[in-house]
Amino acid sequence: MKLVENIVNRHTLTHLDALESESIHIMREVAAECRNPALLFSGGKDSIVMLRLAEKAFRPAKFPFPLVHIDTEHNFPEVIACRDKLAKDLGERLIVRSLEDSIRRGSIVVKDPDKPRNPYQSVTPLETIAEFGFDACMGGARRDEEKARAKERIFSFRDEFGQWDPKNQRPELWDTYNTRVHAGENIRVFPISNWTEMDIWEYIGREKLYIPNIYFAHEREVIRRGGSVIPVSHLVQPKAGEKVEVLSVRFRTVGDMTCTAPVESVARTVDEIIEETATTRITERGATRMDDQTSDASMELRKKEGYF
Amino acid sequence: MSNTTQLLRFITAGSVDDGKSTLIGRLLHDSKSIFEDQFSAIARTSEKRGMAAVDLSLLTDGLQAEREQGITIDVAYRYFATPRRKFIIGDTPGHEQYTRNMVTAASTANLAIILIDARKGVLTQTRRHSYLASLLGVPHVVLAVNKMDMVDYSQARFDQIIAEYSSFAAQLGLHDVHCIPLSALNGDMVVNRGANLGWYGGPALLELLETVEIDHDVNTSDFRFPVQWVCRVHGSDFGSDITRQSGLVSTETVGEYANGFRGFAGRIEAGEVSVGDEVTVLPSGRTTRVKEIVTYDGTLQTAFAPQSVTITLADEIDISRGDMIVRTSAHPPKVDKEFEGTLCWLSESPLDKNRKYLVKHTTRTAKCLFSRLDFRVDVNTLEQHAAERLNMNDIARVAIKTQQPLVFDSYGTDRATGSFIVIDEATNNTVAAGMIA
Domains and CATH numbers, chain B: 7-211 (3.40.50.300), 224-327 (2.40.30.10), 334-436 (2.40.30.10)
Phi and psi at B13, nearest 5°, equal: -125, 130
Chain A residue with minimal CA distance to B68?
A297
Give B146→chain A minimum CA distance, Å: 26
Share of chain B above pLDDT 90, in %: 61
Q: What one-character-per-residue DSSP string does B34-60 give?
A: --HHHHHHHHHHHHHTT-SS--GGGGG
CB B183 within 8 A of CB B149: yes
Per-residue pLDDT, A131: 92
Give A82→chain B minimum CA distance, Å: 18
Using alpha carbons only, give the angle B351, B357, B362 rounded to the nearest 5 degrees.
115
Least confident of A242-246, B24-28, B215-219, B220-224: B215-219
> Computed from CA positions of residues A83, A85, A90, A96, in that sequence, does the dihedral angle turn out positive or negative?
positive
d(CA B245, CA B170): 54
Q: Determine how β-strand A67-71 pairs with β-strand A94-98.
A: parallel
Nearest alpha carbon to residue A188 among A140, A147, A150, A155:
A155
Tell me whether residues A15 and B86 touch, CB distance under 8 A. yes
CB B367 within 8 A of CB B400: no
Quote the ipTM score.
0.91
> What pairs with residue B6 in β-bridges?
B85
Nearest to A15 among B5, B238, B241 (CB): B5
Per-residue pLDDT, B218: 62
Per-residue pLDDT, B28: 86
Give B104→chain A minimum CA distance, Å: 5
**Across B251-272, average pLDDT:** 81
Residues 270-299, chain B: which have Cβ within 8 Å of A?
A: 272, 292, 294-299
Tell me whether residues A24 and B308 touch, CB distance under 8 A. yes
CB B426 within 8 A of CB B412: no
Q: Determine how β-strand A263-264 pairs with β-strand A245-250.
A: antiparallel
Residue B331: pLDDT band with limits 50, 70, 90: confident
Per-residue pLDDT, B69: 58
> What pairs with residue B232 in β-bridges?
B262
- Above 80 in pLDDT, residue B235? no
Tell me whether residues B360 and A176 touch, CB distance under 8 A. yes
Tell me whether residues A14 and B108 touch, CB distance under 8 A. no
Q: Which helix (H) or strand (E) covers residue B111, if one does?
A: strand B111-117
Tell me whether residues B74 and A198 touch, CB distance under 8 A. no
> What pairs with residue B229 in β-bridges?
B265
Tell me whether residues B37 and A13 touch, CB distance under 8 A. no
Least confident of A222-231, B67-76, B98-107, B382-391: B67-76
Q: Which helix (H) or strand (E) covers residue A86, if one does?
A: helix A77-90
Tell me whether residues A178 and B292 touch, CB distance under 8 A. no
CB B82 within 8 A of CB B31: yes
CB B351 within 8 A of CB B370: yes
Nearest to B5 among A14, A59, A170 (CB): A14
Give B322→chain A minimum CA distance, Å: 10
> What pairs with residue B304 in β-bridges?
B272
Give A150→chain B minimum CA distance, Å: 5
Helix (H, G, I), strand (E, B) or coil at A264: strand
Give B345→chain A minimum CA distance, Å: 11
Higher local confidence (pLDDT), B287 or A306: B287
| AA letter at B134 | S
- Above 90 in pLDDT, residue B90? no
Per-residue pLDDT, A289: 57
Residues of A in contact with B433 (CB under 8 A): 171, 173
Helix (H, G, I), strand (E, B) or coil at A219: strand
Residue B267: pLDDT band with limits 50, 70, 90: very high
Q: Which helix (H) or strand (E) covers residue A228, if one does?
A: strand A228-231
Chain A residue with minimal CA distance to B75?
A151
Tell me whether residues B229 and A16 touch, CB distance under 8 A. no
**Across B328-350, average pLDDT:** 93
Rg, C-alpha atoms of chain B: 25
B172 touches chain A (CB under 8 A): no
**Across B351-368, average pLDDT:** 96
Chain A residue with minimal CA distance to B220?
A11
Per-residue pLDDT, A89: 93
Per-residue pLDDT, A291: 54
d(CA A206, CA A204): 6
Interface test with B, best of A17, A89, A135, A176 (most B CBs within 10 A): A176
Nearest to A300 among B63, B297, B363 (CB): B63
Name the stretches of chain A with pLDDT < 70: 1-11, 113-114, 116-119, 121, 285-308
User: CA separation (Å) from B168 to B45, B101, B128, B395?
Assistant: 40, 23, 11, 19
d(CA B362, CA A174): 10
**Helices B99-106 and B124-135 meet at what angle, rounded to 10?**
40
- Above 80 in pLDDT, residue B215? no
d(CA B183, CA B65): 29
d(CA B335, CA B286): 13
- Above 60 in pLDDT, residue B270? yes
Per-residue pLDDT, B336: 97
Q: What one-character-per-residue DSSP string does B153-183 give?
A: T-HHHHHHHHHHHHHHHHHHT--EEEEEE-B
Residues of A in contact with B362 (CB under 8 A): 176
Nearest to B79 among A12, A144, A169 (CB): A144
Per-residue pLDDT, B359: 98
DSSP letter assigned to residue B413 = T
Residues of B in contact with A281 (CB under 8 A): 35-36
Interface test with B, best of A174, A252, A292, A298 (most B CBs within 10 A): A174
Q: Please give the order of strands across the beta sheet that includes B85-91.
A: B76-81, B85-91, B6-13, B111-117, B140-146, B176-181
Per-residue pLDDT, B230: 96
Give B180→chain A minimum CA distance, Å: 27
Q: Which helix (H) or strand (E) covers residue A249, if one does?
A: strand A245-250
- End-to-end Cα distance, chain B: 40
pTM for this prediction: 0.90
Give A244→chain B minimum CA distance, Å: 26
Tell me whether residues B77 and A150 touch, CB distance under 8 A. yes
Tell me whether residues B307 and A13 touch, CB distance under 8 A. yes
CB B402 within 8 A of CB B337: yes
Residues of B in contact with A193 (CB under 8 A): 77
Tens digits of per-residue pLDDT, B136-192?
999 999 999 999 999 999 999 999 999 999 988 988 988 899 999 999 989 999 999
Residue B280: pLDDT band with limits 50, 70, 90: very high
Give B2→chain A minimum CA distance, Å: 9
Nearest alpha carbon to residue A129 among A179, A68, A62:
A68
